[in-house]
Structure 1
Amino acid sequence: MNDTTQRPAFPDRLSIDPRSRFHNADVLQHDVGIKLNDKEYTNVEEYCISEGWIAVASGKALDRKGKPLLIKMKGKVEPFYK
């Protein structure tokens, strides 16, 4: 699937949580990769290009609702299709 004409453009902010207002199922149907400061991360829960951050799970710690605790990391965010 090297044909990028059928893939949607990346939104400024994207979340993998279906309950989030930033969830976009059309984009997430494809295999998406995220780079922060030219290093690829595989455990990204959410990103924002304009604000320059990604949110990643912090180990096995969970909040009271059973969702992973997130850490924000700042830098140059680059989403891409694999």
Structure 2
Amino acid sequence: MNDTTSLPQLPDRLSIDPSSPFHNRDVFQREIGIRFNDKDRHDVEEYCISEGWIKVAAGRTLDRKGKPMLIKLKGKVEAYYK
């Protein structure tokens, strides 16, 4: 059932924001998991594996466009299909 051979390869950098240049609609056809410093995270907005960071929402704070304010956390990042 978990046939990952037909799925597109996960990119080095990916964002869930459709207006971002790093958003890839084909990848989001299947659920993605992010492991940050050996712990699964469910609140990741954007990640970069080669640079070793993730961006997560900073509480309920919004920017002037109404999107969540993001903070960058550095560490070991792994992305995988669930």
Asked if TM exceeds 0.5, the reply is: yes
Cα distance, 1:79 vs structure 2: 0.3
CA–CA separation in structure 2 for the residues paired with 1:3 and 1:29? 13
User: C-alpha offsets along residues 5-60 of structure 1, whole Å, 9 cap, x if unaligned?
Assistant: 11110111000000000000111111001011101110100000110000001111
| Residue of structure 2 in register with 1:14 after alignment | 14
Q: What's 2:61 paired with?
A: 61
Question: What residue number does 2:47 align with?
Answer: 47
Residue 35 of structure 2 corresponds to residue 35 of structure 1 = yes
TM-score by length of 1: 0.96
Return the letter of the residue paired with 1:33: G
Match of 2:79 in 1: 79
Q: Which residue of 1 aligns with 2:5?
A: 5
Percent identity (aligned):
70
TM (normalized to structure 2)? Answer: 0.96
Listed as ranges, the gaps of 5+ residues in structure 1 are: none
RMSD of aligned Cα (Å): 0.7
Segments of 5+ residues of structure 2 without an aligned counterpart are none
Structure 1 residue ranges, 4+ long, deviating more than 4 angstroms after superposition? none
Amino acid at match of 1:19: S
In the alignment of these two chains, the number of paired residues is 82
Secondary structure of the residue that 1:4 maps to in structure 2? coil
Please state whether the residue corresponding to 2:26 is helix, strand or coil: helix
| Higher helix residue share | 1
